Amino acid sequence: MDEPKHPVRTVDRAFEIIEIVQELDGAGVSEVSERVDIGKSAVHNHLNTLVNKEYLTKRGDEYHIGLSFLGLGAYARNRTEIYNTARNEVDNLADETGELANLLIERNGTGIYLYQAKGENAVELDTYEGKRVGLHCTGLGKAILAFRPRERVEEILDRHGMPQITSHTITDREEFFEELDRIREQKYATDREERLTGLCCVAAPITDDQDTSIGAISVACPLHRVGEERFQERLPDSVLGTANVIELEYNYS
């Protein structure tokens, strides 16, 4: 995404403060002021203006994200065509596998969880609809990047890097491109503890009629509960079958 030629500093600052409040899961004036280069009085004014507009709420001395964002987020998601196409199939995938099923899209070089569905044995994770994650350390992200032009992948890695999240995260660029080659060949991606220790994931891209990824779906579950046969065969079959149904509806309905 191109940087604006003439950014409005107050708008930029307001969203910076909102992101800090979210990151800290609630923050006071002093905590926010320590993270931005303006004084407490200015931070206080920003926070109270956002409270007045109901984008933040105040509980005691702490500020939290307000429900006004819920309406905006739901509106934006409902205008994303792949969400409307994929939602029912992600629900079916969760029911079939009994696990946590996910739908991820890429925006500005990061992944955004667009939808999640929980089967009867679904694990509770730190993910939620709207959460951003790096693409290099998730099966979903790798599935998306494997079906993008190499120059675009290079741009994303140049911008966001390849930070090591766990001891299993791929941080070498050439090794990463070899991984993407394997994913393209087998049509699905796997993640063994690359973002969260103890978690594995099987993901498949959702591609358009030009074979370019527009998103990805996955099943995530604890590593200790998944045998090799299920991880290498049954889950890939389920995920690939679901992705195929979504692609057919998206591209030809």
Q: Based on the fold, state whether residues 60 and 110 are members of the same structural domain.
A: no
Query: How high is the pLDDT of residue 3?
Result: 59
Q: What is the mean pLDDT of residues 86-106?
A: 97
| Residue 219 identity | V
Query: How high is the pLDDT of residue 1?
Result: 54
Q: Based on the fold, state whether residues 62 and 174 are members of the same structural domain.
A: no
- Total-model pTM: 0.83
Whether the predicted pLDDT of 2 surpasses 70:
no
Q: Based on the fold, state whether residues 240 and 115 are members of the same structural domain.
A: yes
Q: Based on the fold, state whether residues 35 and 126 are members of the same structural domain.
A: no
CATH of residue 188's domain is 3.30.450.40
Stronger pLDDT, 75 or 170, i.e. the higher one = 170
Query: How high is the pLDDT of residue 9?
Result: 83
Query: How high is the pLDDT of residue 182?
Result: 97
CB atoms within 10 A of CB 177: 16
Cα maximum dimension of the chain: 60
Residue 216 in any domain: the answer is yes
Q: Based on the fold, state whether residues 86 and 51 are members of the same structural domain.
A: no
Tens-place pLDDT, residues 184-242: 999 999 999 999 999 999 999 999 999 999 999 999 999 998 888 999 999 999 999 99
The alpha carbons of the chain give a radius of gyration, in whole angstroms, of 20
Q: Based on the fold, state whether residues 96 and 197 are members of the same structural domain.
A: yes
Residue 244's domain spans which residues?
A: 79-252
Tens-place pLDDT, residues 113-167: 999 999 999 999 989 999 999 999 999 999 999 999 999 999 999 999 999 999 9
Q: Based on the fold, state whether residues 217 and 248 are members of the same structural domain.
A: yes
Whether the predicted pLDDT of 6 surpasses 70:
no
Token pair of 60, please? 């005691």
Token pair of 86, please? 């994929």
Burial level of 139, CB count in 10 A (0-12/13-18/19+)?
A: buried
Q: What is the mean pLDDT of residues 25-44?
A: 90
Residue 32 in any domain: the answer is yes
Q: Based on the fold, state whether residues 42 and 135 are members of the same structural domain.
A: no
The overall average pLDDT reported for the chain is 92
Tell me how far CA of residue 23 lies from CA of 27, 38, 48, 115, 182, in angstroms: 9, 19, 18, 20, 35
Q: Based on the fold, state whether residues 43 and 162 are members of the same structural domain.
A: no
Whether the predicted pLDDT of 180 surpasses 70:
yes
Number of domains in the chain: 2
Stronger pLDDT, 97 or 25, i.e. the higher one = 97
Highest mean pLDDT among 14-23, 76-85, 86-95: 86-95
Token pair of 79, please? 């205008």
Whether the predicted pLDDT of 16 surpasses 70:
yes
Residue 4 in any domain: the answer is no
Whether the predicted pLDDT of 7 surpasses 80:
no
> pLDDT above 70 covers what percent of the chain?
97
- In whole angstroms, give the CA distance from residue 160 to residue 154: 10
